Structure 1
Amino acid sequence: MQERLERRSFIFTLLLVTIAFGFLLKPFFTAIFWACAVALIFHPLYHYLLKRFPNWPNLTALGTLLLCIVVVVIPVLAVASSFVSEVANLYQKVQSGEINLGAKVEQVRAAFPGINAALERVGMDFDGIKERLLGGLMTAGSLIAKNALALGQNTLNFFVNLGLMLYLTFFLIRDGNSLTALLIRALPLGDEREKLLLAKFAEVTRATIKGNLVVAITQGTLGGLIFWALGLPAPLLWGVVMTVLSLLPAVGAAIIWFPAALYLYATGDAVKATVLMIFGVAVISLVDNILRPILVGRDTKLPDYIVLFSTVGGLLMFGISGFAIGPLLAALFMAFWEIFMREFISGDQPLIPPPLESPLDDLHDEGRSAAPRKSGD
């Protein structure tokens, strides 16, 4: 009795201390998450270099981190700085009247007179939509412009978090294997389950960051280049916006280049509009179908509707980092339920079956067949 009481008291105290420590680390959650993500992506490179220089783990980890800074951190900082500056300049032009958004919207309505009739059939008013659209654009521009000023004022805080992320990344790259083994030993979920869940975490994180982000950057870059080649204003701005939107399936960069093509038709630039439309359909939109299966793979890809909802929900909850955290949480949710179904319901069907129209695929890969079963099965 005394031993049971002591054990329960210890576990209760352990939970309290763990929760308190979690709140202590809450301000650094974004830095910790990105350190884990970067370490996962660059760990294969570290492992390769360590085979060539087995006696220098510290220098090998440091070299891997420096390569990460050169390849990822510096370009992202440069593009982000240019993006914020261009948004602020564009907002100032709109606010000063140099760019008249209302007149441009009216040009589109005059070029496509059927828009009013189509909207009236579904009970919508073009003028009301225009006012809401312009108000939303002005609010977004004002928010970004204010954040640009706030970013300049909080530069020290930003670089402190960046430094903490890179500092933690070094240790996660160097000690990743031992930390994973320690985590498997500490968690009370069962070693096989923990290995499966950690493998899913690593798999989805790599797929989301490396795969989806590369696809989004490629689509955004292509969109920015075609805007620049056609002489459209703010190609860097719209390229970055298309990059962000490309993270969302079923929406993508088309939400930018398609209205831009319609506007070019409305203003009489039929050649530019046709080039943009063809390039958008034949090049930008096809990048997702070509690159995503190569970089992400069919087995790791979540259904598009789950990716859409989890990405949008992640962006709302966690900010820009949510594009990776949202799908990761969705994948872990599905992994937990698949384990539950296999162990407690004895079902062999996946949590989300394939579409009926698709050919039959092998639904049980090696990772699933290695999942733990109930005792006695």
Structure 2
Amino acid sequence: MKLRKHSKYFLFAFFVVLLIGAFLIVKPFIVAILTSVILGYIFFPVYAWINKKIKRPNVSALIMIFFILLIIFVPTLFFFNMLFSEATAWYSSYEATNVATFLENNFNIVLGEVAQDRVDDVLTQVQDYLFVEASSFVFSLPKKIISFVIMMFIIFFVFREGERVASEVKRSLPIEESHRARVFHKVESTINSLVYGEIAISILQGVVATVGFWLLGISSPVLWGSIVAIVALLPAIGPLVVWLPMAIVLFLQGDVFAGVGVTLFGGIILTLLLDIIVKPKVLGYKGHIHPIIILLGVLGGLSVFGLTGIVLGPVILVLLILVVEIYVKEGIR
């Protein structure tokens, strides 16, 4: 009996050591793994439809990988290339002397020597930061390529075996059946609300803003459209914080036509139609998430997981709240 008890402790300690070792092994690729799972979940209905037609799981999974590459990664590469080009051009046009000239010509504000030095310092810091980030990105390219290959490999198996693995995980959770159903339903509804609601509407607002700014002759439309997409994702902020200052600057510069155009386009299309009318209807259909959860989850998730954190952050917070609710109810019983 004593030996059996010691064996039990040894087995548990050995399991903890193996668990830590496994975590350290996969730690560099955690973001790639989580991204694979999320993409697999989002596109699984398409995979199921294709596999139902051809009844060959491996071929269906390969078709889906090419499909994801075609509609996500290739356009993303072009988009970031355009965004980088516009951001570089925009930054180059606003050196310290240009900023001083811009303020003096448009707002009748003359920068003193101290303010000019401060502007110089800020722009130098920005330039240094961008250089460090660019260098870091270049040096990390081999790791990013490996992570990308791993991600594609995992997506293949998520499509092929994800349904079976999800069923096994659901059966293995050491909680009551009703709680299991709640957990999985909460994960599903949260991801659906984020992907098909918040993120989809934010991307739509960004695309519409980019096209609108381009038609109105605004410089760097992709850059400003990207900013609109980001702020549209955050509750209580929305596109207003982008188009309103833009319109004010255009009016102060004397470009009344562009100022009126940005005001009408931003107020009617971006804010009234998309942000106030369309977005609540879509979120009401897909399931609503509390704005605080979205705000903290998106910002915190981005800082921890990168782009994948837009989905992972709110999902983790929602699950935490659900687990606390379950624990409280079980404790009361």
Distance 1:253 1:137 in 2: 26
Please point out which of 337, 340, 343 is paired with 2:324. Answer: 337
Distance 1:310 1:344 in 2: 27
TM-score, reference length from structure 1: 0.77
- Residue 84 in 1 paired to residue 84 in 2? yes
Distance 1:341 1:24 in 2: 35
Aligned to 1:368: none
Aligned to 1:41: 42
Aligned to 1:354: none
User: More helix per residue: 1 or 2?
Assistant: 2
- Residue 317 in 1 paired to residue 304 in 2? yes
CA contact (8 A) 2:173 2:180 kept: yes
- Residue 183 in 1 paired to residue 180 in 2? no
Report how far residue 169 of structure 1 moved.
0.7
CA contact (8 A) 1:208 1:324 kept: yes
Distance 2:114 2:292 in 1: 30
Amino acid at match of 1:157: K
Deviation by residue 1:198-246 (Cα, 9 ceiling, x = unmatched): 3322332233233222111111112222221121211111111222222
CA contact (8 A) 2:250 2:259 kept: yes
Judged with a 3 Å threshold, the aligned counterparts in structure 2 of structure 1 residues 57 and 330 are, in CA distance, closer, same or farther, namely same
Aligned to 1:241: 227
- Residue 266 in 1 paired to residue 252 in 2? yes
Amino acid at match of 1:67: F
Judged with a 3 Å threshold, the aligned counterparts in structure 2 of structure 1 residues 45 and 64 are, in CA distance, closer, same or farther, namely same
Aligned to 1:7: 8
Aligned to 1:22: 23
CA contact (8 A) 2:205 2:274 kept: yes
Q: Show structure 1 runs of 5+ residues with no match.
A: 112-126, 346-373
With 269-278 and 195-204 compared, the bigger mean Cα shift is at 195-204
Judged with a 3 Å threshold, the aligned counterparts in structure 2 of structure 1 residues 331 and 129 are, in CA distance, closer, same or farther, namely farther
Q: Tell me the SS of whatever aligns to 2:288.
A: coil
Q: Tell me the SS of whatever aligns to 1:94.
A: coil
Report how far residue 133 of structure 1 moved.
8.6
Distance 2:15 2:177 in 1: 21
Distance 1:321 1:133 in 2: 35
Q: Tell me the SS of whatever aligns to 2:310.
A: helix
Judged with a 3 Å threshold, the aligned counterparts in structure 2 of structure 1 residues 288 and 18 are, in CA distance, closer, same or farther, namely farther
CA contact (8 A) 1:247 1:323 kept: no
Question: Paired residues, what number?
Answer: 328
Report how far residue 259 of structure 1 moved.
0.9
Amino acid at match of 2:99: L
Distance 1:96 1:103 in 2: 9
Q: Tell me the SS of whatever aligns to 1:301.
A: coil
Distance 2:114 2:328 in 1: 50
Judged with a 3 Å threshold, the aligned counterparts in structure 2 of structure 1 residues 308 and 130 are, in CA distance, closer, same or farther, namely farther
Distance 2:313 2:123 in 1: 26
Q: Tell me the SS of whatever aligns to 1:188.
A: coil
Q: Tell me the SS of whatever aligns to 1:249.
A: coil
Report how far residue 110 of structure 1 moved.
4.5
- Residue 254 in 1 paired to residue 245 in 2? no
Judged with a 3 Å threshold, the aligned counterparts in structure 2 of structure 1 residues 344 and 8 are, in CA distance, closer, same or farther, namely same
- Residue 32 in 1 paired to residue 19 in 2? no
* 1:1-377 correspondence to structure 2 within 5 Å: 1-2=1-2, 3-54=4-55, 56-95=56-95, 97=97, 100-106=98-104, 109-110=107-108, 139-140=125-126, 142-144=128-130, 146-285=132-271, 286-293=273-280, 295-297=282-284, 300-345=287-332
Report how far residue 40 of structure 1 moved.
0.5
Deviation by residue 1:85-132 (Cα, 9 ceiling, x = unmatched): 3222322333385xx234434556449xxxxxxxxxxxxxxx999998
Report how far residue 36 of structure 1 moved.
0.7
Distance 1:70 1:163 in 2: 15
